[in-house]
Amino acid sequence: MASFSAPTIPIAQKDKSKRSRTQRGGQTEHDSQAGLRTLPTCNQATSPPFSCNKGDADSSFSSAEKLNMCERCVDVAAIRAPIARRSILRLAAIAAAGFTPANALAAAAAAPPKPQNILSPDAALDRLMKGNARYVGGVSKRHDFKHEREPLRTGQNPFAAVLSCADSRISPEFCFDTARGDVFVCRVAGNFASDDVIASLEYAVQVLNTPLIMVLGHDACGAINATAKSIKEGTALPGRLPALVAALSPAVKAVEGEPGDVLANAIRRNVMLNVEKLSTAAPILARFVDDKKVRVVGGLYRLDTGRVELLA
* pLDDT, average across residues 260-271: 97
Full-model pTM: 0.66
pLDDT > 80? residue 51:
no
HSE-CB of 157 using CA atoms within 13 angstroms: 14
How confident is the model at residue 164, as a pLDDT?
98
pLDDT > 90? residue 61:
no
pLDDT > 80? residue 236:
yes
142 φ, ψ to 5°? -90, 105
How confident is the model at residue 66, as a pLDDT?
44
pLDDT > 60? residue 22:
no
Tens of pLDDT, residue by residue over 112-144, are 999 999 999 999 999 999 999 999 999 999 888
Q: What is the C-alpha to C-alpha distance for residues 202 and 204, in angstroms, rounded to an integer?
A: 5
Confidence of residue 294 (pLDDT cuts 50, 70, 90): very high
Q: What is the C-alpha to C-alpha distance for residues 21 and 12, in angstroms, rounded to an integer?
A: 15
CATH numbers and ranges of domains, the chain: 12-111 (no CATH), 115-311 (3.40.1050.10)
How confident is the model at residue 5, as a pLDDT?
46
Which of the pair, 92 or 171, is modelled with greater confidence?
A: 171
User: Which amino acid is present at 19?
Assistant: R
| DSSP state letter for 44 | T
* pLDDT, average across residues 6-16: 45
Tens of pLDDT, residue by residue over 70-110, are 444 444 444 444 444 554 555 454 454 444 444 443 444 47
How confident is the model at residue 90, as a pLDDT?
52
Q: Are strands 295-301 and 212-218 parallel, antiparallel or unpaired?
A: parallel
Q: What is the C-alpha to C-alpha distance for residues 141 and 72, in angstroms, rounded to an integer?
A: 62
pLDDT > 90? residue 27:
no
Contact, 24 vs 7, CB < 8 A? no
Which of the pair, 5 or 163, is modelled with greater confidence?
A: 163
Q: Is 166 left (phi over 0), alpha (psi -120 to 50) or beta?
A: alpha
Question: How far, in Å, are 110, 195, 242, 245 from residue 239 at the CA level?
Answer: 46, 20, 7, 12
How confident is the model at residue 2, as a pLDDT?
46
Which of the pair, 176 or 151, is modelled with greater confidence?
A: 176
The answer to which of 54-68, 219-233, 239-253, 284-298 has the lowest mean pLDDT is: 54-68
How confident is the model at residue 146, as a pLDDT?
83
How confident is the model at residue 36, as a pLDDT?
43
